[in-house]
Structure 1
Amino acid sequence: MAKTLVYKFGGASVKDSDAVKNLAKILRNRLRKRMIIVVSAMGKTTNGLEDILSKKLKKEDFSENSSILKAYHRRICTELFPAGHAVFAQLENLFTQLNNKLEQELNRENYDEFYDAIVGFGELISSRIVAEYLCSQGSIVLWQDAREVIHTNSDFRFARIDWEKTKRSCQAIWKPILENFPILTQGFIGSDPKGRPTTLGREGSDFTAAILATSLDAGSVTIWKDVPGVLNADPKLFLNTRKFDELGYREAAEMTYFGASVIHPKTIKPLANAGIPLFVKSFLDPEASGTKIHENVSAHEVSTIVLKKDQILVSFKVTDFTFVEEMHIHRVYEQLQALKLRVNMLQLSAISISIVIDAQLFKLEQLLEKLKSDFEIRYNEELELLTILHPKAAEIPKFLDGYEVLLEQASRNTFQVVRRKV
């Protein structure tokens, strides 16, 4: 019996009507039973919903933002469907639900839960439009709500998967459907034990594909991107990038750990544990080979460059003339864990602990508040963290030219620098 295949299409691959038509073209000769299609929100919809939340939190008028977002999706539908198609009523219903939710109270205390309830609408709207379009073109798919099978805890915005419960739901609810029809669903979203919407972290749709694949013992996962495969650097930021034809799970995991944006960091581990290959292919050139990530691939020596923007450098200095000890590190990490903050770089000295974290709303001030009685704290915002894997010493100076270096560290295989433009 053929195994289930999982395809994931990101926001760029459904950003407008032409993109949706291209997705349908890709699926035309590939769609079959035992296939799951995972779609992200269209284009920059998630950013748009975050902007609405930001305005609401500041008690500013967000009605124009909401209208623009609705008009954007309606325009896509107008270009894909005839007037009077059922998708227009579905779109209206989803935006009514969204606006009703936005009328509820939002404050700092309930922000994360409110965020998950709002931002997930991007995927719900996108998946409805794509499913209806595929069916209108004669490709029969069944729309399914990912929240029915992706079970998480209640760590809103960074929910952890309940793997056992998720696998049971996938096997009981979706496996029988897949015997007869392909399923189209949403990435990024799940639900907690009380049925409340949760999200898996920004760009979490890749992770959704991996969760579903491992829960259903899939044959492979394919992520469709606007790049030809996994490259050694972001082509939007760096010249002369090179594509990897193959990557081992471990090397791919290392790249995502340091922030390579082509794959969500949590995607590799479950696939590696289950031995499920991951393909990264271009939706602009679907017949090209792309990159295959699997077991038993020799490590590459080509330098891989990862740039993370909007970083914060925080330094905690011990105030009682003692040296940094394990209890100081534990105290800092305890608060980082409580705030669900991930450390992108760590450096210790005799009297201070320096960390680099992503900028997140409220999180820095909450961290400072929790630790100000234990340390003297200093921080810098709006920085970049550059990581080079397998660095060549002769290449490093060009990445520092024109920048002030705030922190730097190197090992045999990794060079990292926190920098800002001068």
Structure 2
Amino acid sequence: MKIFKFGGASVNSVERIKNLGSIIKSYNKEKLVIIISAMGKTTNGLEKVASAFFKGNREEALELFTAVKNQHLTTAKYLLVLQYNECIQQLNDFFTEVEWLLHDKPVRNFDYYYDQIVCTGELFSTCIISHYLKEEKINNQWLDVRDLLRTDNNFRDAGVQFEFSAPRISAAVNEYAGNITITQGFIGATDDNESTTLGREGSDYTAAIFANILNAAELTIWKDVEGVMNADPKTYQEAQLIKELNFNEVIEMAYYGAQVIHPKTIKPLQNKNIPLLVKCFLDPSLEGTIIHHKHIKNLPPIIVNKDHQVLMHLKTKDFSFIGEEPMSALYQIFGEIKVKPNLIQTGAISLQLCLDDHNEKIGLLAEKCSEMFDVQVEKSLRLITIRHYDEKIIQELLSSQFILLQQKTRETIQTICRM
């Protein structure tokens, strides 16, 4: 059995959905589970719906949702003939889920409503693609992953309950007589059947969970790039393909902010030594990148940029040392607000934190920290991380930067600078 994951870029047009169908046809005799993300910018569109609804702008929310609906109805119209009516009926059931909610008033927190609305993007895309494959005589079963993947109620970053989920996933896939199963990434549900999401880009994680539970031979993530690159080719012209990586290196890359693989994806694969392939859906013949447990030597410098960073300067009010007590209190605040610093640097009486600029959480963090520290916040910064650096790459990337803070180990250098 193999697991395929297709991201939003691979299904963002009629042409690309047809391309997905061609790829599946070439594997039609193999047992496949196909995890699919929302189409293109659908998640962004649904986020705007959730935001408008929570602010009390019901008419705006309904108008924004109608635009998302119409995009999917148009896609179905251009893809389907025999399967069209059945697909539209299923889509309308999903549309109704959201429209009922949008006619209410919000009485719970934003993250709850975010998950109930945004999760539908994956339901729309998989519904259309499942019916398209049937239209192309590729038999498949469509599964609502919310019936299989049980999570806690930590909305927008839900934790998976493996003991409940594993037998349900195994039964749903293994008892199907056909070869192709279609389901959603990124989403799950609580004990109360409330929809949850696993964090942005969580479809990779879903695919890894299925691979682990089903003891898959391999997981392939299909992207619009040749494979895993040592840098973002859009910002670094000399970016090069890395044909082979190990799990540990990819975990480091994800930790520092590389977007190619979701940070949670690796552990379920590493636990069972399931290889991860990253291949190009635009040209499936390309070799791509393989990620496994073997040791890899002579890697090139790996460059990760994170924009929209905040540097928070904390200084003790009474010139006391930064010791166990304030650090313990600070980590408790991190847990309460659900923030994860990208870099921490401590001094005798001061502390500096680099974080993603989520405005609401940064404001709350600064407010809570001000009870213990004098607080200053600096925004519009960039965090540049270089793994396996050498002097040439440091000179090339950092010599012209206005550097505010830098940390350096034998393997990795991190620099915070102005954008």
TM-score interval, smaller chain = over 0.9
The residue aligned with 1:77 is 76
Q: CA deviation at 1:163?
A: 1.8
- Structure 1 window deviating more from structure 2 (6-15 vs 321-330): it is 321-330
1:371 shift after superposition: 2.6
Structure 1 length as normaliser, TM-score?
0.94
- Counterpart in the other structure of 2:272: 274
1:39 and 2:36 aligned? yes
Residue matched to 2:392: 394
The answer for the alignment partner of 1:89 in structure 2 is: 89
SS across alignment from 1:164: helix
Q: Which amino acid aligns with 1:96?
A: T
- Assess, with a 3 A threshold, how the Cα gap between structure 1 residues 33 and 302 changes in structure 2: closer, same or farther: closer
Give the conservation status (yes or no) of the 8 Å contact 2:217–2:275. yes
Amino acid at match of 1:153: D
Query: Does the CA contact (< 8 Å) of 1:142 and 1:184 recur in 2?
Result: yes
Between the aligned partners of 1:277 and 1:413, the Cα distance in structure 2 is: 25
The residue that corresponds to 1:260 in the other structure is: 258
Q: 1:414 to 1:375 in 2, by over 3 A?
A: same
Segment drifting more, 390-399 vs 41-50: 390-399
Give CA-to-partner distance per residue, 1:225-246, whole Å, 9 cap, x none: 0001111011122111111111
Q: Which shifted more, 155-164 or 375-384?
A: 375-384
Instruction: Kindly indicate whether the alpha-carbon contact (under 8 Å) linking 1:7 and 1:36 is maintained by their aligned counterparts in 2.
Output: yes
> Match of 1:369, SS?
helix
Secondary structure in 1 aligned to 2:112? helix
Change (3 A) 1:27 1:366: same
Task: Give, in angstroms, the shift of residue 18 of structure 1.
Answer: 0.5
Q: Select between 132-141 and 391-400 the one with higher mean Cα deviation.
A: 391-400
Q: 1:68 to 1:361 in 2, by over 3 A?
A: farther
What percentage of residue pairs aligned between the two structures are identical?
Answer: 38
- Aligned-residue Cα RMSD (Å) equals 1.8
Alpha-carbon distance in structure 1 between the residues aligned to 2:174 and 2:367 = 48
C-alpha displacement of 1:376: 1.5
Decide whether the 8 Å contact of 1:248 with 1:299 is kept in 2.
no
Post-superposition CA distance 1:289-313 (Å, at most 9, x none)? 1111011132333100011122222
What amino acid does structure 1 have at the position aligned with 2:125? S
Q: Would you say the 8 A contact 2:62–2:99 is kept in 1?
A: no
1:104 aligns with 2:104: yes
Q: TM-score, normalised by structure 2?
A: 0.94
How many residues are paired up?
Answer: 416
- With over 3 angstroms needed to count, the CA separation of the structure-2 counterparts of 1:300 and 1:112, relative to structure 1, is farther
Equivalence for 2:112: 113
The answer to whether the 8 A contact 1:233-1:305 is kept is yes
Q: After superposition, give the CA deviation of every residue in 1:202-229 in whole Å (9 maximum; x if it has no partner).
A: 0000000000110111111000000011
Counterpart-to-counterpart distance in 2, 1:392 and 1:176 = 53
- For 2:353 and 2:112, the matched residues in 1 are separated by 27
Indicate the residue corresponding to 1:14 in structure 2: 11
After TM superposition, what 4+ stretches of structure 1 lie above 6 angstroms from structure 2? none
**Could you tell me which residue of structure 1 aligns to residue 142 of structure 2?**
143
For 1:50 and 1:361, how far apart are their aligned partners in 2? 16
CA displacement, residues 337-395 of structure 1 (integer Å, 9 cap, x when unaligned): 22222221111111122222223362222223333212222212332211110112232
Aligned amino acid, residue 245 of structure 2: L
Distance 1:278 1:156 in 2: 28
Letter paired with 1:136: E
Rounded to whole Å, the distance in 1 between the matches of 2:261 and 2:296 is 20
Q: Cα distance, 1:180 vs. partner?
A: 3.2
Matched residue type, 1:22: N
Structure 1 Cα separation of the partners of residues 168 and 353 of structure 2: 39
Which stretches in structure 2 are left out of the alignment for 5+ residues? none
Distance 1:374 1:285 in 2: 55
Q: Which amino acid aligns with 2:313?
A: S
- Does the C-alpha gap of structure 1 residues 363 and 276 become closer, same or farther in structure 2, counting only changes over 3 Å? same
- Equivalent position SS for 2:271: helix
Number of the residue aligned with 2:61: 62
Counterpart position of 1:189 = 187
Alpha-carbon distance between aligned partners in 2 of 1:114 and 1:240, rounded to the nearest angstrom: 42
Q: Distance in 2 between matches of 1:183 and 1:96?
A: 25
- Contact kept? 2:301, 2:393, Cα under 8 Å: no
User: What is the aligned counterpart of 2:363 among 362, 365, 372?
Assistant: 365
For residue 355 of structure 1, give the secondary structure of its aligned residue in structure 2: strand
Label 1:320 to 1:285 Cα distance change in 2 as closer, same or farther (>3 A). Answer: same
Aligned letter for 1:17? V
Deviates more, 1:282-291 or 1:159-168: 159-168
The 8 Å contact of residues 146 and 185 in structure 1, kept in 2 or not, is answered as yes
Runs of 5+ unmatched residues, structure 1: none
Q: Secondary structure at the match of 2:339?
A: coil
Do the aligned partners of residues 119 and 300 (structure 1) sit closer, same or farther apart at CA in structure 2, a change above 3 Å counting? Answer: farther
SS at structure 2 position matched to 1:70: helix
Q: Is the 8 A contact 1:247 1:299 kept in 2?
A: no
Worse-matched range after superposition: 315-324 or 265-274: 315-324
Question: 2:2: which partner in 1?
Answer: 5
Aligned AA (1:27): I
Cα offsets for 1:173-208 (capped at 9, x unmatched):
33212x534210000001122221111100000000
Aligned partner of 2:160 in structure 1 is 161
Aligned to 1:50: 47
